[in-house]
Amino acid sequence: MNKRQWLETLVGFDTTSRNSNLELIAALRDNLEQQGIKPWFAHNKEKTKANLFATLPATAGANAGATQGGIVLSGHTDVVPVDGQKWDTDPFKLVEKDGALYARGSCDMKGFIATAMALTPEFLAMPRTKPLHLAFSYDEEIGCIGAPAMLEEIVKRGIKVDGCVVGEPTSMNVVVAHKGINVFACKVHGKSAHSSLTPQGCNAIEYAARMICAIRDFADAYKANGPYDQFFDVPFTTMTTNQIRGGIAVNTIPELCEFTYEFRNLPGMTVADIQAQIDVYVRDVLLPKMKTEFADARIEIDNFAGSPALEAVEQAAITELVRALTGDRETRKVAYGTEAGLFQQIGIPTIVCGPGSIDNAHKPNEFVTLAQLDRCEQFLRKLGKSLETA
């Protein structure tokens, strides 16, 4: 299949993160096995989702058959929901219009996976002296939850890789850094009472609100005082509260309030140092106040998802290679997160470069242009050929 046919196939699977991706993974597996490639998988605990990793061994010279070294092409198979969005077409059916392909995931990021799969027969026919690897993950969109299981298996299997290209949408420009993302779930436990008897209760929503305001104060401080990195589109660390739930009735003091917050940190800033500010506020200010009203009041915080920041090394071979193949020498750093930081964390030099604009991701009528997919195809073909003399 060509890249358009592959993309049509891939977007036809509704791999919204709440769903299984196993049908899509099976389609990739079957195609690879037909070409003599035996992928392996790293599943979630429930066995309802899977990462796929496949190695196209070296094909030439003394290294023929080698599976160590080479380059990884990485992409995630899940997509964000379409709930509440107004689409002009079926989001899970590829539609071509005015030089663009519309569907959920066409840009973020099944276009990259489709292009890599379409080129696999060419890759296999190239006289490569180093292998090429495919790494396709699940649950990237809800905090990069899936990839760690695959990376753990890579380490366990002793697989050594020279570099990695994560094909998130960058308009085929080179991105050398992105922020880290960390998502926290907070549960504030108070005491219920009839709302006419407020001294007998401890209002979980009101104390959660104080904590949320404190998080906003910390965020405002980062905006006002830095640290800054002007290469980023948002040049400071951000913190936001994005979901909240609490209360059971208008006349009942709530005993529980739950909310989630996230921060997106600049490279070089540690998760522990940022979260420590919130922990100190809870321990020294908020919880003592709550306990004057209810001795058993408590606040639970769980860091349930996250991915480290990426800061690529300009002198790394993968950075120099991707810059040479694209002709892009600009320094670009982005506020959104990817799985690139996870690859870097296990010692694999990584860069981000893929088709489509991030401005089109996650929106209704998401699309990728045919021109972008063509540029991706040309880039990946050159990357494969670079392994002929690596």
Residues 23 and 115 in one domain: yes
Residues 156 and 196 in one domain: no
78 catalytically annotated: yes
State the residue range of the domain holding 302. 180-306
When divided into structural domains, the chain yields a total of 2
Domain termination site, one of 276, 306, 336: 306
Domain termination site, one of 306, 331, 354: 306
What are the phi and psi torsion angles at 242 (to 5°)? -120, -10
Preceding peptide of 150 cis, ω within 30°: no
Q: Quick check: 389 pLDDT over 80?
A: no
Residues 209 and 191 in one domain: yes
Q: What is the mean pLDDT of residues 361-379?
A: 98
Burial class (CB in 10 A: 0-12, 13-18, 19+), 275: middle
Q: In this predicted model, what pLDDT tens digit does every residue of 199-208 receive, in sequence order?
A: 999 999 999 9
Detail the DSSP E strand segments found in 179-283: 180-189, 193-194, 238-246, 252-253, 256-265
Residues 138 and 219 in one domain: no
Residues 14 and 35 in one domain: yes
Q: In this predicted model, what pLDDT tens digit does every residue of 64-97 receive, in sequence order?
A: 888 999 999 999 999 999 999 999 999 999 999 9
CATH of residue 127's domain is 3.40.630.10
- Please identify which of the residues 78, 108, 262, 339 carries the catalytic annotation: 78
CATH of residue 216's domain is 3.30.70.360
Q: In this predicted model, what pLDDT tens digit does every residue of 266-320 receive, in sequence order?
A: 999 999 999 999 999 999 999 999 999 999 999 999 998 888 999 999 999 999 9
Q: Quick check: 62 pLDDT over 90?
A: no
Residues 282 and 354 in one domain: no
Q: What is the mean pLDDT of residues 357-369?
A: 96
Nearest partner of 22 among 49, 40, 45, judged by Cα: 49
Residues 377 and 248 in one domain: no
The confidence band for 390, taking pLDDT boundaries of 50, 70 and 90, is: low
Residues 64 and 128 in one domain: yes
Domain termination site, one of 271, 306, 341: 306
Q: In this predicted model, what pLDDT tens digit does every residue of 305-328 receive, in sequence order?
A: 888 999 999 999 999 999 999 999
Q: In this predicted model, what pLDDT tens digit does every residue of 333-356 receive, in sequence order?
A: 998 889 999 999 999 999 999 999
Residues 193 and 277 in one domain: yes
pLDDT number for residue 233: 85
- Please identify which of the residues 108, 140, 255, 377 carries the catalytic annotation: 140
Residues 34 and 91 in one domain: yes
pLDDT number for residue 250: 96
Residues 106 and 10 in one domain: yes
In the structure, how many helices (H) and strands (E) does the chain have?
10, 18
140 catalytically annotated: yes
Residues 22 and 107 in one domain: yes
Q: In this predicted model, what pLDDT tens digit does every residue of 99-132 receive, in sequence order?
A: 999 999 999 999 999 999 999 999 999 999 999 9
